[in-house]
Amino acid sequence: MIFARRGAQPFGRLISRTVRTLADLLFPPLCLLCRSPVDEPLALCGGCWRGLTFLDGAMCATCGLPFEFDPGAESLCGSCLSNPPAFDCARAAVRYDDASKGAILALKRADRLEFADLFARWLRHAAHPLLEHADLIVPVPLHRFRLWSRRYNQSAILAQRLHRMSGKRYDPFALVRARSTPSQGEMPSVKARRRNVRGAFRVPERRVKSISGASVLLVDDVLTTGATIEACARTLKRAGAKKVFVITIARVARPLPRDV
């Protein structure tokens, strides 16, 4: 029988609630970060939540740099005014600091994939205006060698979650790494980071048609110097993307350098 009889539904719901209650008693939900008890699974406790700085105040209309005061709608930071970035708009859910760094690294390097659902909810909120105008969701890619060693691409996991939440088209292969590069974290300067990713990305020929004329939402974990995002955005624009939006879990609270 494919469907249960109507009269059996209340009993089924009772069984389901009982099982959930027993599971909570045997395995109480814990904070994803500090492991203290919480009311629901895959959540943060009040202390860890209060330690985060969500970026929902006044910010640069282009790069999302948080402002200390509200200069008015559509205001730009000095960096975006003097040298506009290749992307059209970037937003982040939280500030990148000690409080957020541990959670992001847990997903990125410690196989803590349970953080993905939490981060995806943050991204959906932060990217809401961008998602409305996006045609396609694309993750920042890893080179196949790094993907093999890490076993998964955290940006692709987040992009896929956003796709499921929004219904927007998702293509994990629209942008690929053309060559393997050292980690950006190993680079000694902003100039070195930009050189490191110059020419590192490409749009495969069979994906150009889907990129051409599209508004692309690019997904990554952290926005620091912007070197990687800039390289990706330029590559997508050269392939014909109409607009490139960027969403990340976190970003640094200082202007993105544009002096190179």
CATH value at residue 59: 3.40.50
Integer Cα distance of 178 and 2 in angstroms: 49
Inside any domain, residue 70: yes
- pLDDT score, position 195: 85
Inside any domain, residue 24: no
Residue 220 phi, psi (nearest 5):
-145, 175
Inside any domain, residue 213: yes
89-95 and 243-251 strand pairing? parallel
Inside any domain, residue 1: no
CB 166 within 8 A of CB 245: no
Inside any domain, residue 18: no
| Averaged pLDDT in 10-residue chunks for the chain of 260 residues | 44 60 68 92 93 96 94 91 96 96 93 94 96 98 88 96 97 93 78 85 97 98 94 98 98 76
Domain that holds residue 241: 52-251
Inside any domain, residue 43: no
Integer Cα distance of 210 and 194 in angstroms: 27
CB 42 within 8 A of CB 118: yes
Which amino acid, 133? Answer: H
Number of domains in the chain: 1
The model carries a pTM of 0.86
Total length of the chain: 260
Chain mean position to CA 143: 18
